[in-house]
Amino acid sequence: MTAASGEASWPLPHELMEVPGDHFTMLEDHSETTAAAIRTWVARMTGVSAGRNSR
């Protein structure tokens, strides 16, 4: 974490995607929003759009 902002930092190249909730609720209470953000990121990185529940 950075002392001034209280936010976590990561020194390696990365993409920041903000989703609602904290470390736990983003996977519980806000799982649909988190999953949608991950699907969007995967589609952007691969050029393949994966619909909800597709396998």
pLDDT in tens, the chain (55 residues): 455 666 778 888 888 889 999 989 999 999 999 999 999 999 998 988 766 655 4
Tokens read off for 48 = 């393949």
C-alpha span between 53 and 15 (Å, rounded) = 24
Q: Report pTM.
A: 0.66
